[in-house]
A = this chain, B = another copy of it.
Amino acid sequence: MARSASLKAVAAEAGVSISTVSRAFTRPELIGHDTREQILAIADRLGYHPNRTARSLATGRTALLAVLLPDIANPFFPPLVRAVEDTAYDRGYSVLLMDTDEHLDREAKLLRSLSGQADGVIVCSPRSRTEALRSAAERTPIVLVNRTIEGIASVSCGTRDGVRQLVDHLHSLGHRDIVYLAGPSSSWSDRERRDSARRQAKKLSMRFQVLGHYPATFEGGVMAADAVAASGATAAIAFDDVMAMGVLRRLTERGFAVPGQVSVSGCDDIFFAAMTSPPLTSIATPIAEAGRTAVNLLIDELTGASREKRQVTLSGNLVVRGSTGPTPAERG
């Protein structure tokens, strides 16, 4: 592959110095109008594109943002990445994707070696050690997603409100005995959801149990379903949608009517939540907005537009679909 035209080539062709050509692109206001026009025309004719690498070396900025996440195949992430990519593109950055494959050591390594590679990092890592993140943050600007650490910028999708709405919703349907199906024990989100559900249930004098922890997978949900059936509760709140889908499946399989006998709900409102049968009641996490916010926070910090380490919390809302309904008693 032949290297493409360089500044030098364009300069030679235009009969000006390379600085002038360089400025024609990066500081147009410093250049005479005619000169600029001519240079642009020639550059275009020669198919010139600035060499990003060289520019990076000279400026010390790569125009790259890294996104660090455990597994892009987890359905929660693609919408996030999508929003990040879009926003980054609009602001002149490209996105470096780093899948840690759930390996903490690989993550730590990436985080360390990343210093020169990207201007900043968006870290979605529910698991990794606080200390590792803190020390990485000293070398590279970081924005955390769905996790907060003192002194590091972050944007989180709070589900406190959404869960409260959900419990209210169940209560209004006549439910008085509900269970929460806990996800991974190390997850911050899980704790938040559990606590919020418990609090609201207590406030409404509902019977409330926690089952689990279960893995946040379809199989985890399948396992949890049996416990739900045994619990006698009339409604189950699963840690997330994928788990809820497992619950749905297993309950249906065992002959339980959903929502006729048991109401089921999830959290995150992933793409497929609307596609289950019955469609899943869930809590819509504003994940795309989180992505956008994360990028903006990061770039603002990078460009010095804002020095403060902001911690943003977005909140999700209940999305009622067919998997929650009146209790058997209520529909009597």
A residues apposed to B, CB below 8 Å: 1, 3-4, 49-54, 56-57, 60, 62, 64, 67, 71-73, 75, 77-79, 81-82, 85-86, 89, 94-99, 101, 112-113, 115-117, 139-141, 218, 242, 245-246, 248-249, 252, 271-272, 274-277, 279
Contacts and interface: CB of A to CB of B under 8 A. Distances in A.
27 contacts: A1-B115, A1-B139, A49-B116, A53-B56, A53-B57, A53-B116, A64-B96, A67-B97, A72-B78, A73-B81, A75-B75, A75-B272, A77-B78, A78-B78, A86-B99, A89-B99, A94-B96, A94-B117, A95-B97, A95-B98, A96-B97, A245-B272, A245-B275, A246-B275, A249-B275, A272-B272, A276-B276
Contacts of A246: 275
Nearest to A83: B73
Nearest to A64: B96
Contacts of A140: 1
A83 B273 CA distance: 25
A288 B75 CA distance: 16
Which of A96, A99, A246 has its CB near the most chain B CB atoms (within 10 A)? A99
Contacts of A62: 53
A139 B73 CA distance: 31
Contacts of A51: 57, 116
Contacts of A98: 85, 94-95
A112 B4 CA distance: 11
Contact of A116 (B52, B67, B73, B112): B52
Nearest to A288: B73
A275 B277 contact: no
Q: Which 5 residue pairs of A and B lie closest in terms of their CB atoms, listed nearest first?
A: A85-B99, A53-B56, A97-B97, A73-B78, A51-B116
B276 A275 contact: yes
